[in-house]
Structure 1
Amino acid sequence: MQTETVLYFILAGIAALFIAGFQYYKNEKSMSKLNMLFLFLRFLTIFSILLLLINPKFHQETISIEKPNLIIAVDNSNSIVYLKQEEKVRELVQRIMDSEALKNKFNIDVYTFGKDFSATDTLTFSEKQTDINGAINQLSQLYKQTTSPTLLITDGNQTYGNDYEFSSSKYKQPIYPIILGDTTAYTDLKIQQFNVNRYAFLKNQFPVEAVLVYNGYDNVQSKFAVKKGDVEVYSKNISFSKDNNSSIINFTLPASTVGVSSYRATLTPIENEKNKINNTKLFAIEVIDQKTKVAIVSAFLHPDLGALKKSIERNEQRSLTLLNPDEAINQIDDFQLIILYQPNHIFRDLYKFLDKTNKNRFIIVGTKTNLTFLNEVSKNFQHEISGQLEDYQAQLNLNYSPFLVDDINFESFPPLRSNFGAINFSVPFQTLLTKTINGNPTIDPLLATIETNDKREAILLGENIWQWRAQSFISTKSFNPFDDFLGKVVQYLASNKQRNRLNIEYETFYNGNTNIIVKAQYFDKNYQFDARQSLNITVKDDISGDTKILPFVIKNNNYQVDLSSLSPSKYSFTVSLSDESISQSGNFQILEYNVEQQFLSANVTKLQRLATNSNGISYFIDETTNLYSDLLNDSRYLPVQKSHKNSLPLIDWKYLLLIIALSLSAEWFLRKYNGLI
């Protein structure tokens, strides 16, 4: 406490004593015990009030010892079971957590990872993928400012995400890999990879590329064969040696029937081969009988045109052609959908052909759109002409009913540039995206769809949609969210099917190592999204005949059910409502494949490099004797003494207010009791 504050205390005491004495002290005879008590209570009250006016600050310093963290990150994937290491892992983790020496020196935190990362010590070894890179990135965020050596208990075989060896350079903690599995190099043949398109067209040939790998020293012979059911549709004899240890085979197969066709590729095992699971791989292709053809018609070049083309053609069922208005007139019958990009008077003849043929269309309005012409040729809407431009951001309308739409974080997308003014529809319409101006939501449509006279139409009131595709990649490291959204718009516009109150979204086939999510949307009779219903899916295994009934759950603006627990087979399903006779049915197939069973041994080399690069030490699961002493004796992991200084003003001390209240109350009560009031 400062000397100045002490001086104020003394002056406050003198002043309080003087004031109390002035009020009660008359002469020595008047100072009875009662008056002396009154004088003391009055002194206490005044002195306390003066202390509050001075309001000194008291400083309190506390010393704490902060222990470093010991992070245990455990590979919870299925490969640990396949390598028969699960019991060793459980025992090691339990020994570390029970070690009194380690608990005295470290705060021990346990995490598990597969495809997902979670803070738990429950080990199931059921994850179907391994993302070591994702686990390290998560830990780097959690322990950015602390000392946290990390025990990474894994076989080092990653099946998902970026290469963890390079991304771990951003993790500023020493990593101690505990290497699981057999480190012996076995002779092995395997089908490393299949490259095949998801779709093929009826009566065409589709290309297939197979990458075959051999690990060994001897010269070996094998046969690569592909079967559809029991029929062999392709085969080839392959030779491998120590130097010639890989082979890439390219061939074509016929697309003869519409629907999903599944194939089994097999590389004949060699003698004494330990892992024969990776000698077989299933793949499938969906054969369709036609391709959706889309045309973009524009009178000038713009980045939006390239973005639309790449986005639409990502789906192999669709092709897109760039045309000018004159070219489009001559080819109009070749396309199921015409995208009119910023139309002007040059589009007049094209509009006549579109109206005559009743073609579906997608109109994109921007700064170069001739609104006078557009209002003249349009029968469904009129756009106000203000001569001013405006930037519009988007917000998803959760009650949009024609098809299922996921929110891809439209609010974070850059604004689209277009004309200022309202659009007035003369026919019923559905708003998919609404306008947001300077962060203020509106009810005005930014993207709307129309169904009238067996024709579908959409209008987007903004240019620079290429920036949306770029932002989608920045946010998610993938163009897929935006491409899927635009693909749904194109699919809706290229078809004239009657809309349903119950819409289902699913794939026709899934690989065995992927999540299987079926989505649904249900709308009431006014086509407003209804989140109050109870939806169930009845799934039947067409091979075994087993049936399961599972409920949907609400997530975002749709219903979802996770079918990832289903085993590989062919399935048929029906989605139904509990209190209405509305249902939708479909079929899908799950291909047998477990990527975690493709490995024979641990990736020792990479884990040892990871330890070296992070200033850690690697251990094998059976050789962890020195682990405890290395952690306990490392001078980098000493506890840190920290002091915390708190400054507390006297006015925050509630007891002083209580003293003032009690002294005043006691003085009043005693004076009242003695008849002095």
Structure 2
Amino acid sequence: MSTETIIYITIAGLAALLLALFQYIYKSKVKSNLKYFLTVLRTISIFSILLLLINPKFESLTFFDEKPTLVVAVDDSESISYLKQDESAGNIIKALEENAELNNRFNIETYSFGKSVRSLDSLIFNERQSNISQALKRFGEVYDNETAPIVLLTDGNQTYGSDYSYVAKGIKQPIYPIILGDSTIYSDLSIKQLNVNRYVFLKNRFPVEIIANYSGLEAITTELKIWSGNSVVFRKMLQFDASKTSEIISTSLNANSVGVKTYRVELVPIANEKNIVNNTKNFGVEVIDQKTNIALVADRLHPDLGTLKKSIESNEQRSVSILKPKDYLSSINDFQLVILYQPNSNFNTVLEEIKAQNLNTFTITGATTDLEFLNNTHLKLFATVTNQTEDYQPILNRNYNTFIVDNIDFVDYPPLKSEFGGLEFLAPTDVILYKSINGIKTDDAMLATYEFNNMKHAVLLGEGIWRWRAQAYLDTESFADFDNFIGKLVQYLSSNKKRKRINVDYKSFYNGNDDVSISAQYFNKNYEFDAEASLSIVLKNANNDSTREFPILLNNGNYTVDLSGIEAGEYNFTVKHNSEAIATSGSFQILEYNVEQQFLNADIDKLKSLGKNSEGGAYFSTEYNSLIKSLISDNRYATIQKSTKNIVPLIDWKYLLGLIALSLFIEWFIRKYNGLI
């Protein structure tokens, strides 16, 4: 309480006393001793009211003990049970949770982790991937302002995420790995990595690269085989010893038939090899009968041409040829789609041939486009010629429903240079992107698709699309989102398939540890996206004819279902509407592979380095008692006494109000009883 407040309180006390004395001693006609009691009551009432006006503040200190937190996290992935450490992990967790001295010293928080982190409920060791780096990062964020050493029960074999040794450098807490796994070194062969393209073309040979590893001291000889069904399509003898522990094997295989083809790479096990699961690995390729050949016809050079070519050819199923109008006419039958870049009168014969053959087109306009020429073509476009240009930015139409647009929203994308004014379409149109100027959305289309006479067309109004691909890389450090968008547009234009009310997006095959996700879009009879549909997927295992049904839920504008975790095999599926007779079908294959079963030993060196660099320490599973003693005796984890200072204003003290009311009431009652009122 400040000196100024004390002075005010003193003045208030004197004022209350003087006023009471004036009323009951100096001016009062009461002769009995009752006047002294009334003086005291009046003094209390006046002083209390003046105190409320001054409203002094009082400070109170509350002391409490704060124990440090002990974070205990256990790896719940399949590799722990595969290495037969699941029982040991459970016993260690129980010992840590039930140790009285440890509980007296710490607040113990337990977690489990696989691909993600969660509070520990039960341990079943069925996670298909382990992400140690994410667990450490999460603990570092949650306990950043606390003393919270981290006990990590794991084999150190991470199958997903960033390198946890690097992530641990940004964490302030000491880390104590408890190593789950055998430290004995066994001779072991393994397929470390397998590189192969996802798509190949019919009658072509496709490359396969295999990295084979060996851990051991003896010189051994083995054979690498690649199986296609029951036939060996490639074999090679390999030799390893203590100095030669790996070899890269490169070969190429024939793609003789269309469809998904699966192969199995095998290293013949050596004598007494303990882990032979990592000796085999399956892979698949999708054989496509031919490429989609696209003609990019342009009468001038522009950076957009190279951008479109790179973006479209990021999918190996597609090939782009940049041609002058006259060169295109000599090879028109080689292409399934024509991109017309800033057409002018030199394109007249090209457009006549396109109309005659009912070819699909993608027209891109810009500052040098001859709009009067374009108005007189069969493309059902009409533009007002102003001979003025303007820079327009794109705004995505979230209701576009011809194909799925995902992972890209065009926010902050650079503007494109286009003819001032809008473009009128003389056929029903679906707008993908609208024009905006100075942040104001217009009703004019920047990118749109439309169909007529069994032909598909798209128009982009603006040059400078190369900036968009560059912006996509700046946003995500990858061209993938932009290339995927252009790829879907090209896929739509190069296909003459009839429009469906249910569109399904999925891969033809998935590796064993991939996320198996299928997305769909449903449209009503007007081909408007319906966000309230009830969809489900019926999944049939082609190997054993078992059938399961899953609901498909709306997520970020698409209906999606996560089928991760289903067993390897071939599957047929049907996506259906639950109240309408509308459905679409497909098939995919999941290849046999379990990354968690590829390890024979714990990564002891890495875990020891993790403990040392974080000022913690690494312990084997049999040494957990030593860890407990170390944690209890470590002075860094002492209980800290803290205090909380509360500042309470007097006006919040309800008893003072009660005292004022009581003193006034007693004074009134005495005066009334004695006839003084």
What TM-score, normalized by structure 1, do the two folds share?
0.88
Q: Does the CA-based 8 Å contact 2:73-2:153 persist in structure 1?
A: yes
Residue in structure 2 matched with residue 604 of structure 1 by the alignment? 604
- TM-superposed CA distance for 1:233, in Å, is 1.7
Q: Does the CA-based 8 Å contact 1:365-1:418 persist in structure 2?
A: no
- Would you say 1:189 and 2:189 are equivalent positions? yes
Q: How does 1:201-280 map to 2 (within 5 A)?
A: 201-280=201-280
Distance 2:445 2:31 in 1: 88
Q: How does 1:166-177 map to 2 (within 5 A)?
A: 166-177=166-177
Q: Does the CA-based 8 Å contact 2:213-2:247 persist in structure 1?
A: yes
Q: Does the CA-based 8 Å contact 2:56-2:649 persist in structure 1?
A: yes
Q: Give the aligned residue type for 1:4.
A: E
Residue in structure 1 matched with residue 381 of structure 2 by the alignment? 380
Residue in structure 2 matched with residue 114 of structure 1 by the alignment? 114
Q: Give the aligned residue type for 1:570.
A: E
For residues 28-58 of structure 1, the C-alpha deviation after alignment (integer angstroms, 9 at most, x for no partner) is 3258999999988876666555444434333
Alpha carbons of 1:65 and 1:369: their partners in 2 closer, same or farther (altered >3 Å)?
Answer: farther
Distance 1:638 1:239 in 2: 57
- TM-superposed CA distance for 1:501, in Å, is 0.7
What is the identity percentage for the equivalent residue pairs of Structure 1 and Structure 2?
49
- Would you say 1:151 and 2:148 are equivalent positions? no
Distance 1:37 1:472 in 2: 86
Q: How does 1:54-133 map to 2 (within 5 A)?
A: 54-133=54-133
Structure 2 gap ranges (5+): none
Q: Does the CA-based 8 Å contact 2:374-2:381 persist in structure 1?
A: no
Q: How does 1:350-365 map to 2 (within 5 A)?
A: 354-355=354-355, 357-364=357-364
Distance 1:12 1:358 in 2: 100
Distance 1:39 1:455 in 2: 104
Q: Give the aligned residue type for 2:273.
A: E
Q: Give the aligned residue type for 2:88.
A: K
Q: Which moved more, 1:135-144 or 1:478-487?
A: 478-487
Residue in structure 1 matched with residue 393 of structure 2 by the alignment? 392
Distance 1:244 1:597 in 2: 24
Distance 1:15 1:324 in 2: 103
Residue in structure 1 matched with residue 415 of structure 2 by the alignment? 416
What SS class does the counterpart of residue 503 from structure 2 fall into? strand
Alpha carbons of 1:465 and 1:20: their partners in 2 closer, same or farther (altered >3 Å)?
Answer: farther
What SS class does the counterpart of residue 28 from structure 1 fall into? coil
Q: Does the CA-based 8 Å contact 2:375-2:381 persist in structure 1?
A: no
Distance 2:166 2:190 in 1: 27
Residue in structure 1 matched with residue 557 of structure 2 by the alignment? 557
For residues 477-519 of structure 1, the C-alpha deviation after alignment (integer angstroms, 9 at most, x for no partner) is 5543443333222211221222111111111111111111111
Q: How does 1:222-621 map to 2 (within 5 A)?
A: 222-297=222-297, 305-323=305-323, 328=328, 331-341=331-341, 354-355=354-355, 357-364=357-364, 379-380=380-381, 382=383, 387=388, 389-390=390-391, 392=393, 394-397=395-398, 399-406=399-406, 408=407, 410=409, 412-419=411-418, 421-434=421-434, 445-461=445-461, 465=465, 469=469, 472=472, 478-621=478-621
- TM-superposed CA distance for 1:70, in Å, is 1.4
Alpha carbons of 1:664 and 1:306: their partners in 2 closer, same or farther (altered >3 Å)?
Answer: farther
Distance 1:193 1:417 in 2: 44
- TM-superposed CA distance for 1:129, in Å, is 1.5
Q: Does the CA-based 8 Å contact 1:396-1:410 persist in structure 2?
A: no
Q: Give the aligned residue type for 1:580.
A: E
What SS class does the counterpart of residue 625 from structure 1 fall into? helix
Alpha carbons of 1:220 and 1:53: their partners in 2 closer, same or farther (altered >3 Å)?
Answer: same
Q: Does the CA-based 8 Å contact 2:133-2:168 persist in structure 1?
A: yes
Distance 2:664 2:365 in 1: 78
Q: Which moved more, 1:564-573 or 1:314-323?
A: 314-323
Q: Which moved more, 1:386-395 or 1:591-600?
A: 386-395
Q: Give the aligned residue type for 2:381.
A: N
Alpha carbons of 1:26 and 1:421: their partners in 2 closer, same or farther (altered >3 Å)?
Answer: farther
Q: Which moved more, 1:14-23 or 1:134-143?
A: 14-23
Q: Does the CA-based 8 Å contact 1:183-1:601 persist in structure 2?
A: yes
Alpha carbons of 1:640 and 1:349: their partners in 2 closer, same or farther (altered >3 Å)?
Answer: farther
What TM-score, normalized by structure 2, do the two folds share?
0.88
Q: Give the aligned residue type for 2:111.
A: Y
What SS class does the counterpart of residue 622 from structure 1 fall into? helix
Please give the root-mean-square deviation of Cα atoms over the aligned residues, in Å.
3.6
Q: Does the CA-based 8 Å contact 1:519-1:558 persist in structure 2?
A: yes
For residues 254-295 of structure 1, the C-alpha deviation after alignment (integer angstroms, 9 at most, x for no partner) is 111111111122221111111111111111111111112234
Q: Give the aligned residue type for 1:595.
A: V
For residues 317-340 of structure 1, the C-alpha deviation after alignment (integer angstroms, 9 at most, x for no partner) is 122344556655555543333444
Q: Does the CA-based 8 Å contact 2:179-2:621 persist in structure 1?
A: yes
Residue in structure 2 matched with residue 7 of structure 1 by the alignment? 7
What SS class does the counterpart of residue 7 from structure 1 fall into? helix
- TM-superposed CA distance for 1:437, in Å, is 6.5
Distance 2:299 2:661 in 1: 85
Q: Give the aligned residue type for 2:415.
A: L
For residues 566-603 of structure 1, the C-alpha deviation after alignment (integer angstroms, 9 at most, x for no partner) is 21111111111111111111111111000111111111
What SS class does the counterpart of residue 95 from structure 2 fall into? helix
Q: Give the aligned residue type for 1:245.
A: T
Q: Give the aligned residue type for 1:109.
A: E
